[in-house]
Amino acid sequence: MKNLQSKLSGFLLIFSLALNAQGLKPGDEAPSFSLLNVDGKMVSLSDYSNEKGVIVIFTCNHCPYSVAYEDRIIALDKKYKPLGWPVVAINPNDPALQPADSYDKMQERAAEKGFTFPYLWDDGQKVFPQYGATRTPHVFLLQNTDGKFFVRYIGAIDNNYEDAEKADKKYVEEAIAALQAGNYPSPDFTKAIGCSIKIKK
Amino acid sequence: MKPRVVLLVFFLGLNLHVVYSQKVSVIGFDELQSKFIRSDDTLRIFNFWATWCKPCVEEMPCFLRAAEQFRAQKVIISLVSLDFRKHLESRLIPFIQERNIRLPVLLLDAPDPNQWIDKVSPQWLGAIPATLFIKGNKTFFHESEFTCEELNLLINKYLEL
């Protein structure tokens, strides 16, 4: 009986662990959101309906990979905002589980680093599951087509988290270049190591 | 007599230090992959973690305890650190020393994960902690944190295969 029980709960464990892979794929329409920015104002995806697209990046304060990419995220925004592809950063973590990712600390970090883009708080953790973000940093490149936003690339910013200089594949930049030229990006999906998103249980 | 004791302690201390530094091997992905041996019936467990990863650090005692608990069985547990290479001396080695970690630690120095994540498991989305279990030609992958009970349950289950 005990053996059966342990087998059964083992099966249930494996089953429940397999259920987490959901979310957007390239080509899907991105759900809208309206979230609180570090400046105290709400920011919505629909605010960007005059842009060519939006570089949505799930990121946060505490994660070393996010920190390693901060300067690169700022550089992306500075380069691509004038071209119609601004960055919108979203912190998906539950601050109760990761105090370094609280709204106050987000404001501090944004000021310290001089973020040139909105840094939004996914209060209640409703947005990141709809996108299928699983880690930080995690990029969703959205293209605006008549006010609807479609996912064109999901994944990493580039191919070297430790050293920007050594990154020889700049996935987000290459994806935008492809879209600007009227093509779909290739690759449209990459994987990367990141910090798991801290989810309220 | 006394100076000898001091000398002995000194050498012991030195030895300990050497042992600890040897415990971290800095390896590339090919070398890691060469450890994914499938030609025998040993259960090989690779836990992907990093010193900065809170849930990883929380579940680590479970892996240490499991290594003790299953010592008599064919189980090999390796801790694969994804810490940055530049943090080997400043963070990883002190962490291992402070927590008295006696399992082999491999620092995976391969900063382009897109090249190797799928080779660990196509299921892996990229978050840690993540753990790979290999037993013969069977492979199991879990991208989640374990309680000690969950981990032991899985080890028992996979050992029986």
Angstrom CA distances, B148 to A97, A197, B51, B65, B155, stand at 20, 21, 19, 8, 11
Distances (CA, A) of A47 to A51, B35, B119, B123: 9, 51, 40, 35
Tokens standing for residue A20 = 């987490």
User: What value of ipTM does the predicted structure carry?
Assistant: 0.74
Q: For chain B, give every domain's residue range.
A: 19-159
* Lowest-pLDDT range of A113-117, A170-174, B100-104: B100-104
pLDDT (mean) for B80-87: 94
The pLDDT score that the predictor gives to residue A16 is 37
Q: What is the pLDDT of residues A124-148, one digit of tens each?
A: 999 999 999 999 999 999 999 999 9
Query: Considering only CB atoms, which chain A residues are within 8 Å of B158?
Result: none
Q: Determine contact: A60 vs chain B, CB below 8 A.
A: no
State the CATH class of domain A24-196: alpha beta
**Cβ-defined contact of B85 to A192 (cutoff 8 Å):** no
CB contact under 8 A, B154 and A17: no
Contacts of B82 in chain A (CB under 8 A): 193
Q: Residue B54: its pLDDT value, please?
A: 87
pLDDT at A2 over 50: no
pLDDT digits (tens, 9 = 90+) for B15-25: 444 444 447 99
3-state secondary structure chain A: CHHHHHHHHHHHHHHHHHHHCCCCCCCCECCCCEEEECCCCEEEHHHHCCCCEEEEEECCCCCHHHHHHHHHHHHHHHHHCCCCCCEEEEECCCCCCCHHHCHHHHHHHHHHHCCCCCEEECCCCCHHHHHCCCEECEEEEEEEECCEEEEEEEECCCCCCCCHHHCCCCHHHHHHHHHHCCCCCCCCECCCCEEECCCCC
pLDDT of A174 above 90 = yes
Q: Right CATH number for B19-159 from 3.20.20.70, 1.10.1200.10, 3.20.20.370, 3.40.30.10?
A: 3.40.30.10
What is the C-alpha to C-alpha distance for residues B14 and B9, in angstroms, rounded to an integer?
Answer: 8
pTM of the model: 0.83
Does the distance separating the beta carbons of B156 and A159 come in below 8 Å? no
How far apart CA B94 and CA B108 sit, in angstroms, is 17
Query: How far is Cα B82 from Cα B71, in angstroms, rounded to an integer?
Result: 26
Of B82, B118, B156, Cβ closest to residue A193 = B82
Q: Which residue of B has its CA nearest to A167?
A: B112
